[in-house]
Structure 1
Amino acid sequence: MQVCKLLQLMTISTYTILFLRSAGTKFGMEEQEIVIVGAGIAGLATSLGLHRLGIRSVVVESADSLRTSGFALGILANGWRALDAIGVGDILRAKHHKISRIVTTSVNSGIQTAELPFRASNSQDDLESRCVNRRVLLETLENELPRGIIRYSSKVVHIQSEDRVESIHLSDGTVLKTKVLIGCDGVNSVVSKFLGFSKPAYAGREAVRGFVYFKDGHAFEPKLMQFFGKGVRFGVIPCDDYSVYWFFTFSPSSQEKEMVEDPAKLKLFILSKLGKVSDEIRRVFEETELGNMVCAPLRFRYPWQMLWGNISKDNVCVLGDALHPMTPDIAQGGCCALEDSVVLARLLGGALKGSDGGNEHRAIPEALEKLARERRWRCFDLISTSYVVGVMQQGDGLLVQFLRDKFMAKFMAGVVLKKACFDCGDLC
């Protein structure tokens, strides 16, 4: 009897071992040199930048496909420099109109308050700006990466640090061990929490983003059209000959907070707040299907956290919204993420190629610390500026409206252009 039981146990053990082996790495341990968490703009751009330098990375993404919520985003000159650095700028230029100027208009009076060309101050040099379809951007980055780099349905549930190696535990039981961990996992970042950052703060405003496709084309000139007043800020930007992106930000009252969950009520609310705009602008909002608009709270990281927070620690760092979530008022969230990616790829590439293998444990933390030094003040500046500009643009007080419409509109438009003059450099 005992012999039979022993044989049964041996058989069960054998089948268990065979099953685990057949399951491969799904239930086992896997080693990767670089793991990037999050397949958003920062994550894919960083992976592509490293790929251009001959360095392989793995991108783990919790969703089962690319996440394209938000529909589109403005990419200004600094973002295009970064896209050129990783080799996808021309692919995207061919699909999106170049925006020639920024125009601001008062919702209260319907009068245009400022108009500036996208040009650097005291210069005739154009500052390239285009409104880019988010799906097209992410798919372009994905298509430039080798197959197998991105692993979907791979949610990070735990991070463990031990002896200069990070262990990333995924929800399916897989454990990835890596020399470098890069967090690009958005405002609710697991990696930024691991580094000690607190949750981003609520800015007190909601942002509705929408996208409308005109099958017969639209008649808009290639301009960024912004409107302020009545406690709201909104804008309309053509992406190409047929599609138009729009945004609308507001501070909801206690009664309006429930409305954000109902797209039909939200659309009626937006239409009621458009004020004295042209019929062409109103038509953009009217013809947007409910499924092509999304509302989300605006969150930002307190800028002083950029000065003393752990942007990097040992062989771990964060980029993009995981590092510097900001309000969208100067159109720098995505652009700043692209800058991050190029800077990190350059520094990390130099560290890995310059080390002989024996001193990687020193070269990698030094590269990430240098990233933190380079990006700290830039992020502080953009978060602070964006928040202040948003307060001015959306303010509803009589004094704020008077100052904005009479004196500040042109200045604030100039601030947007000034922040776009930054050059993150090339990969090498």
Structure 2
Amino acid sequence: MLAIAMAPMAASVYSTALHPCRRRGVLKVAASVSSSPEETKDVVIVGAGIAGLATALSLRRLGVGATVLEQGPSLRAGGTSLTLFKNGWRVLDSIGVADELRAKYLRVQGMRMRSSAGGLDLREFSFEEEAPGQEVRAVERRVLLETLASKLPPGAISFSSKLKSIAGQGPEGTLLELQDGRRLRSKVVVGCDGVNSPIARWMGFTEPRFVGHMAFRGLADYAGAGGQPFEPKVNYIYGRGLRAGFVPVSPTKVYWFICFNRPTPGPKNTDAAALKREALELVRGWPDDLVAVMRSTPDDAVVKTPLVDRWLWPGVAPPASRGGVVLVGDAWHPMTPNLGQGACCALEDAVVLARRLAPAVLAGGDVGEAMSGYERERWGRVFPLTARAGLVGALVQWGNPLVCAVRDGVVIPRLVRLGPFLEHTNFECGLLEPVAPSP
């Protein structure tokens, strides 16, 4: 109910031996050994998204260098904005990039909740009064990635490096084959390849579950209008089976979203102008300020995605590590954005894994045990949050008129308390004490 902050690598190899249904993007175990020479690495991170770059930077602060493989020719600049809460900013402080980002983005002071029917005010909150010490800022995804990447040494990110297969695991490490023919032997492989992670499929995880809701997101640009006119507040608007909102990001940018019910994701639409028209049609007759924000958005700054998650049921979900391979962020625990914790949890994962893994890598210790310790520490955090985010989304997306009337007339005005709802953002995953980085 608080924030929509959503944050992949698409491999093209299939393995009928591992997955008889031949699903798209499944990595295979190579049947033959190539004669190409091997490069030896201590740590290889697959994916230069938020999880991958934060993991690389966290490891570096603890003295461990890592090679980050990114399938694209540059950082993925797609996406709009994401919301970071206090727990996310603690991690960014720990890895040394928070103040640089704070200087660019507005601190959100509160939240206003309205009904879609005439824009009737339901409730207004002040973060300082309801949740003292809370820090909320919406951050452009592109800028976050660029900031994290700028703190890594030149050459740490290997672009145009698409993973073809995991060719084998043994005492000397995991052998990776890339589409361009390169072969990397690494003691540790960290899968940060997003919601549709081929590495997660290779490890036996099921596809993320579509939760029956779609989302439009956009980033309005007021640079040519002398700046955006809004107070630094999250604006939520509730309808029947439909909700929307917007939040100022910076003096010139405003992030907005729409969530709506749909039984299936449907075909993908790549027509940017058509996506914007579809989004505007959904909120026809809704408050003018929301519509104005949407109209101030460039067509190419609008995206439409299905909302998915994966609940890590104990005894059902595979372990997060296998041999020398471990998953981080959305590759392991994709969650819906209803708590604004997807990116925050990925950042937490990065710090915890680095704290567990760095001593084992530096001392030649048991990296498998370090990965298992990371999973034990993180599972109790991410499983409840994933489930809670899914349940909150299901509740606020109800379309029943009676339920919506109770929500607007009783639940939001009289029962909602912001402090308890944000208790999960008080989490501390531990700080990183920097050491001299390895070459």
Normalising TM by the smaller chain, what interval?
0.7 to 0.9
Alignment of 1:183-202 (within 5 A): 183-202=191-210
Output one character per residue of 1:28-87: Cα deviation in whole Å (capped at 9) or x when no partner: 310000000000000000000111111100000111111132211001111000111111
Q: What letter is aligned with 1:401?
A: C
Are 1:176 and 2:184 matched, yes or no? yes
Q: Distance in 2 between matches of 1:104 and 1:306?
A: 40
Output one character per residue of 1:129-151: Cα deviation in whole Å (capped at 9) or x when no partner.
Answer: 10001111000001000000000
Question: Is 1:298 equivalent to 2:307 in the alignment?
Answer: yes
CA contact (8 A) 1:179 1:315 kept: yes
1:218 correspondence with 2:228: yes
Among 130, 139, 155, the residue aligned to 2:146: 139
Instruction: Provide the C-alpha distance between the structure 1 equivalents of 2:146 and 2:66, rounded to a whole number of angstroms.
Output: 18
Q: Distance in 2 between matches of 1:245 and 1:296?
A: 16
Quote the residue 1:76 is aligned against. 85
TM-score by length of 2: 0.84
Tell me which residue corresponds to 2:214: 206
Match of 1:365 among 365, 368, 385: 368
CA contact (8 A) 2:79 2:142 kept: no
Matches within 5 A, 1:344-383: 344-353=353-362, 355=363, 357=364, 360=365, 363-383=366-386
Distance 1:161 1:117 in 2: 54
Describe the shift of the 1:418–1:365 C-alpha distance in structure 2 as closer, same or farther (beyond 3 A): same
Judged with a 3 Å threshold, the aligned counterparts in structure 2 of structure 1 residues 138 and 306 are, in CA distance, closer, same or farther, namely farther
Contiguous gaps of at least 5 residues in structure 2: 1-33, 434-439
1:35 corresponds to: 44
Deviation at 1:261, TM superposition (A): 4.7
**CA drift at 1:277:** 4.3
Any conservation in 2 of the 1:307–1:376 contact (CA below 8 Å)?
Answer: no
Question: With structure 1 as the length reference, what TM-score do the two structures score?
Answer: 0.86
Task: State how far apart, in whole Å, the 2-side matches of 1:412 and 1:233 are.
Answer: 19
Counterpart residue type for residue 174 of structure 2: E
Give the residue type in structure 2 aligned to 1:295.
Answer: K
Q: Is the 8 A contact 1:306 1:379 kept in 2?
A: no
Amino acid at match of 2:432: L
* Alignment pair present for 1:340 and 2:345: no
Query: Relative to structure 1, is the Cα distance of residues 27 and 153 closer, same or farther in structure 2, using a 3 angstrom cutoff?
Result: farther
The one-letter code of the counterpart of 1:385 is: R
Equivalent pair of 1:307/1:377 in contact (CA under 8 Å):
no
Q: Deviations over 1:211-257 (max 9, x none)?
A: 11112101111111111113212210111111111111112367x94
Aligned with 1:45 (options 54, 75, 87)? 54
Amino acid at match of 1:193: R
Q: Distance in 2 between matches of 1:190 and 1:291?
A: 27
Q: Residues 144 and 351 of structure 1: is their aligned pair in 2 closer, same or farther, counting only changes over 3 Å?
A: same
- In structure 2, relative to structure 1, the CA distance for the partners of 1:120 and 1:168 (3 Å cut) is farther
Q: How does 1:58-77 map to 2 (within 5 A)?
A: 58-77=67-86
More helix by share: 1
The equivalent of 1:250 in structure 2 is 260
Three-state SS of the structure 2 residue aligned to 1:179 is strand
In 1: Cα distance, 2:198 partner to 2:300 partner: 29
**Contact conserved, 2:221 with 2:298, CA < 8 A, in 1?**
no
Q: Could you say if the C-alpha distance between residues 107 and 415 of structure 1 is closer, same or farther in structure 2, counting changes exceeding 3 Å?
A: farther
State whether residues 183 and 191 of structure 1, in contact with CA within 8 Å, keep that contact through their aligned partners in structure 2.
Answer: yes
Deviations 1:98-154 (CA, angstroms, capped at 9, x unpaired): 001122211135222222223596x6x321010001111000001000000000111
* Alpha carbons 1:74, 1:129 under 8 Å: kept: yes
How much is the aligned-residue C-alpha RMSD, in angstroms? 2.3
In structure 2, give the amino acid aligned to 1:140: T
Q: How many residues align?
A: 395
Aligned to 2:427: 422
Partner of 1:21: none
Name structure 1 gaps, 5 residues minimum.
1-24
**Residues of 2 paired with 1:344 and 1:297: CA distance?**
29
CA distance in 1 between partners of 2:106 and 2:122 (Å)? 24
Q: Percent identity?
A: 40
2:103 maps to what in 1? Answer: 94
Greater gyration radius: 1
Q: What is the CA–CA distance in structure 1 between the aligned matches of 2:37 and 2:357, rounded to whole Å?
A: 28
Counterpart of 1:173, as a letter, is G
